[in-house]
Amino acid sequence: MPGYRLYGWRQTGSMAIEAALAEAAVPHDYLPVSRKTDANLRPEFTAINPRQQLPALVLPDGTVVTEGPAILSHIADAFPQARLAPERGSSARATHDRWLAFLHANVYEAMLRESYPDRYTTDPACAPAVSAAATAYVHWHFRILEAELGDGPFFFGPRLSMIDIYLWMLCCWVDAGWLADTCPAIDRLRAAASARPALAAVLDRHFGPED
Ligand SMILES: N[C@@H](CCC(=O)N[C@@H](CS)C(=O)NCC(=O)O)C(=O)O
């Protein structure tokens, strides 16, 4: 019987999904879709995700799930023993889902504007300004989240959740010096997540030396 299939690539949003699957010890096949050769634009992958973006998780019954938070929510609910999200219907779960959506809608999306500004303007001369504004927007949202964090090291204290995994990934895409200086609680969360063996291995696959 086929199992889970994750389509991903180095230094993309598949990093959080790999991390969640590793933390929950979910067996899966990893199918690399090269961003170097734009394999995500090929018909085979477009048939899986018409947005031509990574990640995409195919469930054992063939259901395709895209969009990071939807994939993370599915993993949390399908593997509750891993306790990577509070119980469905609880206030804690509403808080969890709130901040996951916040990170996805505001921060991840702004990071795309930062990296691909030409997609967000019809005037190529404006691209640098679009990118600079996106950086400021990312920083603003990091500061909002910084104010929400308690004693940590994770969002819900000692217990890792999907918010931490997603935020940990996003931390890889901001300036490390800015993060340490401006958002010490988020930086502490990042370090605590990176110290977990499962996440350290994923971090190395994404940001370590290429094979
Ligand atoms: N909203 C999507 C965004 C995914 C996304 O932007 N993925 C990037 C890699 S980090 C990608 O595949 N980009 C290829 C492209 O847009 O051409 C999600 O949350 O999964």
pLDDT digits (tens, 9 = 90+) for 41-50: 999 999 999 9
| Ligand 1 centre distance from Cα of residue 53 (Å) | 4
| Ligand 1 centre distance from Cα of residue 103 (Å) | 14
Q: Which CATH superfamily is domain 4-82 in?
A: Glutaredoxin (3.40.30.10)
Q: What is the pLDDT of residue 200?
A: 98
Model confidence at 59, pLDDT cuts 50, 70, 90, reads very high
Residue ranges matching CATH 1.20.1050.10 in the chain = 91-196
What average pLDDT does range 180-202 have in this prediction?
A: 98
Residue ranges matching CATH 3.40.30.10 in the chain = 4-82
In this prediction, what percent of the chain has a pLDDT beyond 70?
100
Q: pTM higher than 0.85 for the full model?
A: yes
What average pLDDT does range 102-124 have in this prediction?
A: 97
| Ligand 1 centre distance from Cα of residue 13 (Å) | 7
What average pLDDT does range 99-115 have in this prediction?
A: 98
- Residue 1 pLDDT > 90: no
Quote the mean pLDDT of the chain: 97
What average pLDDT does range 23-44 have in this prediction?
A: 97
CATH of domain 91-196: 1.20.1050.10
> What is the CB < 6 Å shell around ligand 1?
12-13, 40, 52-55, 66-68, 104, 108, 112
Q: Which atom of ligand 1 is nearest the CA belonging to 53?
A: 12
- Residue with CA closest to ligand 1 atom 10: 12
Residue 66 token pair: 């895209």
- Residue with CA closest to ligand 1 atom 6: 53
